[in-house]
Amino acid sequence: MRLIDADALIDMLGISDTDIEIRELISDARTIDAVQVIRCKNCKHYDGYYCHNKWWGDGYGNYTPPIKTEDGFCDWADRKGDNYETNR
């Protein structure tokens, strides 16, 4: 299974009878609830081995960066090149 942009696919279809049938099939297909993630390798907090996100602390100034892999991810990621940080 792979995720696609169904709206873009529908926009590419023409107005023939076959295209109209395909458009209806796409519109009636199940929708998957998916979330895009930022992999560690694309996160500005990842140095190739550790995650240096400030949210890994315990609130008392103790900070233990976890070991991460390039294909790992978390909900505190900030994409490299973005000019903001998430406020969690």
Rounded mean pLDDT for each run of 10 residues along the chain, 88 residues in total? 84 90 91 84 88 72 75 84 61
- My answer on whether 7 and 25 are in the same domain is yes
The total of other beta-carbon atoms located within 10 Å of residue 43's CB is 24
Instruction: Report yes or no on 28 lying in a domain.
Output: yes
Whether the pTM exceeds 0.85: the reply is no
Instruction: Report yes or no on 88 lying in a domain.
Output: no
Residue 23, both tokens: 């458009």
pLDDT at residue 87, rounded to an integer: 47
- My answer on whether 68 and 45 are in the same domain is yes
Instruction: Report how far residue 11's alpha carbon sits from residue 68's, in angstroms, rounded to the nearest whole number.
Output: 40
Q: What are the helix and strand counts (H, E) for the chain?
A: 2, 0
- My answer on whether 45 and 67 are in the same domain is yes
Total tally of structural domains belonging to the chain: 2
The whole domain housing 17 covers: 1-34
- My answer on whether 49 and 19 are in the same domain is no
Of the candidates 52, 53, 55, 50, the one whose C-alpha atom is nearest the C-alpha of residue 69 is: 50
| Cβ atoms of 83 and 66 closer than 8 Å | no
Instruction: Report yes or no on 67 lying in a domain.
Output: yes
